Homo-oligomer: A and B are copies of this chain.
Amino acid sequence: MNYSNLQPIPNLPRLDLPKVVIVGGGFAGLKLALGLRKSAFQIILLDKNNFHQFQPLFYQVATAGLEPSAISFPLRKIFHGVPNVSFRMAEAEGVDTNAKRLYTDIGYIDYDFLVLAMGADTNYFGAKNIEYFSTPMKTVSEALYIRNKIISNYERAINIPKMEDRKSLMNMVIVGGGPTGVELAGAMAELRNNVFPKDYPELSFKNMKVVLIEAGPKLLAAMSEQAQSHALDYLQKLGVEVFLATRVLDYDGKVVSLEGKEPIETQTLLWAAGIKPNRIEGFDASQYAGNGRMLVNEFNQLIGSEGVYVLGDQCILPGGEFPKGHPQVAQVAIQQARNLSKNLFRLIKGEQLVPFKYKDLGSMATVGKKLAVVDLPFFKFQGLLAWLTWLIVHLMAILGVKNKLFIFLNWSWNYLSFDPSLRLLIKPKYVRASERKELIEEKSS
Contact = CB atoms under 8 A, between A and B. Distances in A.
Given A134-B432, A406-B406, A425 B80 contact: no
A203 interface: yes
Please tell me how many copies of the chain the complex holds.
2
A288 interface: no
Interface stretch (A67-75, A168-176, A255-263, A304-312): A67-75
Given A50-B151, A50-B155, A425-B50, A432 B135 contact: yes
A430 B81 contact: no
B68 A421 contact: no
A287 interface: no
Interface string A61-98: 00000011100111011001101001011000000000
Q: How large is the interface on A (under 10, 10 to 19, 20 to 34, 35 or more residues)?
A: 35 or more
A393 interface: no
Contacts of A134: 432
Interface stretch (A230-238, A289-297, A364-372, A436-444): A436-444
Nearest to A80: B198
A383 interface: no
A144 B10 contact: no
A107 interface: yes
Contact of A423 (B10, B74, B429): B74
Interface string A151-165: 100010011110000
A421 B400 contact: yes
A415 interface: no
A378 B409 CA distance: 40
Contacts of A67: 67, 69
Interface of A: 7, 9-13, 49-51, 67-69, 72-74, 76-77, 80-81, 83, 86, 88-89, 106-107, 131-136, 139-142, 144-145, 147-148, 151, 155, 158-161, 198-203, 253, 400, 402-403, 405-406, 409, 413, 417, 419, 421-434, 436, 439-440, 443-444
